[in-house]
Amino acid sequence: MKFVLLFLLVATVGFGVYRISLVYRSIPSDGQAREQARENAAPVVGDESLPALSPPLEASLASATQAGPQALRQWLNQNGAWVPEPRLSAIQLDYAQMLVRNNPAEARRLYAAVKARTPANSPLASRLKQLSRTFE
């Protein structure tokens, strides 16, 4: 009789361990959870989905971006009036990201200006939210 009870006890504990392992395997790991959260997050808006610039402005913007923050600042001063609003804000955010290491106060000021004039339903809202940890 003791043998039967001991066998039932061991079988019950073994079955319980097996069921717990099944539940544990069904819970996503941290890496999987992060990956799933990243997929479910709002898509990051690229510059190509924003209003386009004229070809000469696009070419000069590309060269100014490659030349560095001073060249991009000069480009914004010269051509900022001809750039449509969501694209102008995106370019200014790129400029602010370039300035973060050398001039963080100016980068924060520029970020605050872009954030103040950007509505919540803007295509740049998700990018502003991502950059908030950097600039605030």
* Mean pLDDT over the full length of the chain: 84
Residue 14: inside a domain, yes or no?
A: yes
Q: What is the pLDDT of residue 53?
A: 82
Question: What percentage of the chain reaches a pLDDT higher than 70?
Answer: 84
pLDDT above 80 (res 5): yes
Residue 92: inside a domain, yes or no?
A: yes
Range of the domain at 85: 50-135
Residue 84: inside a domain, yes or no?
A: yes
pTM of the complete model: 0.65
Residues 13, 78 within the same domain: no
Residues 30, 67 within the same domain: no
As a 3-state breakdown, the chain gives helix, strand, coil percent values, each rounded to 5, of 80, 0, 20
Do 38 and 52 form a contact (C-beta atoms < 8 A)? Answer: no
Residues 82, 55 within the same domain: yes
pLDDT above 50 (res 42): no
Residues 22, 57 within the same domain: no
pLDDT above 70 (res 33): no
Residue 45: inside a domain, yes or no?
A: no
pLDDT per residue over 84-118, tens digit each? Answer: 888 999 999 999 999 998 999 999 999 999 999 99
Q: What is the DSSP string of 58-92?
A: HHHHHHHHHH-HHHHHHHHHHHGGGS-HHHHHHHH
Three-class SS state of 27: coil
Residues 97, 35 within the same domain: no
Domain count across the chain: 2
pLDDT per residue over 47-90, tens digit each? Answer: 556 777 888 888 999 999 999 999 999 999 999 898 888 899 99
Q: Determine if residue 68 is left, alpha or beta; phi over 0 gives left, psi from -120 to 50 gives alpha, anything else beta.
A: left
